[in-house]
Structure formats: structure tokens, C-alpha cells
Amino acid sequence: MQVAVVGSGYVGLVAAACLAEIGHSAVCIDNDSEKIRALQRGEAVIHEEYLPVLLERHGGRRLHFTTSLADGVRSSSIIFVAVGTPPSETGDADVSSLESVCVEIARHAEGSQLIVVKSTVPAGTNQWIRRVLHRNNGNGHRFDVASNPEFLREGTAVTDFLYPDRIVLGCDTETGAALLNELYRPLLDGSYAAGDEAVPVPDCAVLPARAIVTSSASAELIKQASNAYLAMKISFINAVANICEAGDADIEEVVEGIGSDRRIGSRFLKPGIGYGGSCFPKDLLSFRAVSRELGYDFRMLDEVMRINEDQRRRFVGKVRRALWTLKGKRLAVLGLAFKGGTDDVRESPAIAVIRSLLHEGCEIAAYDPAATARARTAFDPKAAIRFVESAYDAAQGADALLVLTEWEEFAALDLQRLRAQMRHAIVVDGRNVFSPESMAKAGFQYISTGRSEKMQDAHNVIQSTDAAA
């Protein structure tokens, strides 16, 4: 099929590349001419595993990039819309960019076309899109509208697209459902995964993918409810971690016990400094706004957001207790992205924590394997923060080292070398990247998430006893 994707962000770019990968001809459209030129040169403008492979494999052949929406949509039978829907001041999703795109599609489309919304939008958006298309359609063309929400995790977006848990097709007509089923057939019948050049199948993948056909309103709600539930799991386990710290329990043991229950599962039960990124914060605000508009006060969402914000303040409090006073302290920070595997710093809890520490008068040396370039723009050029080339550079002369993002690279650091670089052997781990045993053995004062200081002291005593023996 000939497919157009409007928007070259994390969702749109990955969708266009993956649609080309499963055999379709895809054109990705964006009004950012600099980004489009970079993509035409084959440059991956975001950090995503396997994306550079797909750009090299299909760029200029089955995958094209343009700034012309008119040229992109005219020959396409399916037009995906994947533009941003940021929160407004009231928390509602700002769908003005989505409306503008649909107006242009109505003016330039030719023939009968299916408009598919991939952006995260409030329930009922598809009905408004139908009205916008009808009001601005001066050529008498027929449009079908569907919702096909994405469930991509940044860092694993390509494999999430190609080996999804499910594909939700929010269609209000049989024609739209049939067209999308045909589009995704290589994933639904397993033929893509069986190919010799397919992207490697993740260990947890269930093949073939399952299609769930719903109404458009249900599909829109599935997306928002899914993200709200996942954010709730993160806030829940962070609240439990706080109880563990007060009650001398080990959150990692608690997570194993909870996650082993098949009714619950272990995914997203990872304690830390809170969720971030472009989806969860925005989608919770939007879901709460939609709920209130429909007459339901979804107060649980307020508590999820409150716990998330509190988790960052609690982490700064741990740093303060470890150093007594923060003013003038030199801190090494590992991690700037909102999670490992991506260069995205939008709503990153790491950035929020660093800003708090800078406000307290700290000096920061920060390192991230992928997100440094994007993180630079998040701070005032005069701020007391330096961006360095390695974790060891960050640790040089540091009063303490803070882990704010769970990159695998950090878990493999040479702890003895790290300690030798530091002024004081203090590590405050907001992501539980290290084990208390290994840190005690290396001689660190180690403060993590969901473990009491009494437990850490016990590990230090055990290591000292073993060393004496």
C-alpha cells in the first residue's frame, strides 16, 4: 500500500520506517525542513535501536521524506496523523495541530482515503475530525476516519511496533477495519517475523500479533487508560518503596514477590525517582480533564501525579541527608534522559532533580550516553552544570555520585576506578542500578531506593567482617 505519515517525531518516524519494513511504500511528512533534510540523508534524528538500520535499508526506496503535505497525501490510500497533542494550561490535550493537519488533508486529498489518528487524543476526537474533514472538503471526496493508538516504548519502539502485544483498530466502518487489517497483515499472520531479514524477535514477543477491533471512541480511551494504569503502577511501587525504607524491608524482594503473581506481573514495578517522558505526564492530565468533562472526578489520577512529584523531592532529601548541606557541593550525575535507551529529556525526572540541586547551590558534572545534546537546551547557559564525556569524568572530585537514569552502561562501571575519582565515596542511586553488596564491597556509602539506611549499614558490616576473615 501507499501510506503517508504526518509527523516525524518518535511515533511518526518509527511508524513510517516500520511500515516500509513490512512491505509498504511510506512517505513521512513534516514541516521541519532541517529535520527532513537530515532524514533524507539517512540520519536517525532520534536515538532508537534498529531505526538506523531501517533508514539505511529503505530510505530512498520504500521510505521517503518531504515537507509537502499536499504531495505526500495525494497518492496515499491511508494517511496516518502523528502530530503532538501537548497539554494546555487546563490539562486538556491541545489538538490544534491535529485540526490544522486535517484541514490541509481535506483540501489536498484525492479520491477516497482513510485518515488514521495515531496521536494520543481524548475520547470523541474522531467525531470532530470527521466534521473538520467534511467542512473543509471542497472536492467532494469521501473520507473514512479511524483510531490506531500506538503503544511504543521509547528505546524499544521499533521492536514494539513490529512485535506488538496487540494492535488496536478503532474503526466505525467495516471498510476502515478491513483496510487496516490488510495493512498490518504481515504482523497479524506472522509472515514478517518469519522473514530472513526481520528485526530480531524480542524474548517476550507473542507471535503472531493480535488485532483488537473496537469503536474509535473505545480505541481512544484504551490508549489513555493504558498509560494512566502504567503510571499508577509506577507510583504505587514508589509508594511501597517509601514504606520499605521506613520498615527495613527490601523493595527488590517485595517486587519479586508481587510481580510473581500472574494477576499483577513485574513490568512497570520498578522503583525510582518517578515517571517522565512525553506520554505519561501529558496523558494523565488529559485523562483527568476528559473525566471531569464527562462528570466523573477521577481522584486516583491526582494521587498518582502527587506521588510522582513527591518522589523527586524525596530523592533530593536523600542527597541532602548524605551531605548535610548542599550549597557548594560538587555532584556527579549519571543520566539525563527520562529513561534508559532514549535521548528524550521531555519531562525527565532527572532534569527536574538537577534543577532542584542547582537551586540549592550545587555544582553538577553530568553524563548521559545519548541525551546530552538535548539536555543542554534544558538549562540556562549560566547554570553551574558541565556536560562531560564519561561517567568517570563526571566522578572526578565529586562529593557524591547520583544515578538518575537506568542505563545498562552504568551497571557495568568499574567501581574501584569510580571510587578513586571521587572526593567522597557516596552514591545515591535513584534507579537501583547497583546492588548493596557490590557497593559495600567497593567501599561506598550507598543510598538506594526502597532500602533503609539500617539495611545498608548491615551490608557494610557483613563486607567488613568478610574482609577481616
- C-alpha neighbours within 13 Å on the C-beta side of residue 295: 0
Query: What backbone phi and psi angles, to 5 degrees, belong to 294?
Result: -90, 5
Query: What backbone phi and psi angles, to 5 degrees, belong to 296?
Result: -120, 130
DSSP 21-32: HTT-EEEEE-S-
Beta pairing partners, 184 = none
Query: What backbone phi and psi angles, to 5 degrees, belong to 347?
Result: 55, 30
Question: What's the CA gap between 202 and 231, in Å, rounded?
Answer: 23
DSSP-derived secondary structure letter, 202? P
Q: Of 74, 81, 87, whose CA–CA distance to 100 is shortest?
A: 81
Grid coordinates representing 288?
483527568
Handedness of CA 316, 322, 327, 331 (dihedral sign): negative
Kind and range of the H or E run holding 212: strand 211-214
DSSP 389-441: SSHHHHHTT-SEEEE-S--HHHHTS-HHHHHHH-SS-EEEESS--S-HHHHHH
Question: What's the CA gap between 95 and 369, in Å, rounded?
Answer: 34
DSSP-derived secondary structure letter, 66? E
Residues in the chain: 469
Question: What's the CA gap between 435 and 252, in Å, rounded?
Answer: 10
Selected catalytic residue, list 18, 102, 279, 362? 279
Look up 279 and say whether it is catalytic: yes
Does residue 421 contact residue 392 with C-beta atoms inside 8 Å? yes
Return the percent helix, strand and coil in the chain, to nearest 5: 45, 15, 40
Q: Of 32, 26, 24, 25, whose CA–CA distance to 8 is shortest?
A: 32
Question: What's the CA gap between 286 and 384, in Å, rounded?
Answer: 35
Active site residues: 279
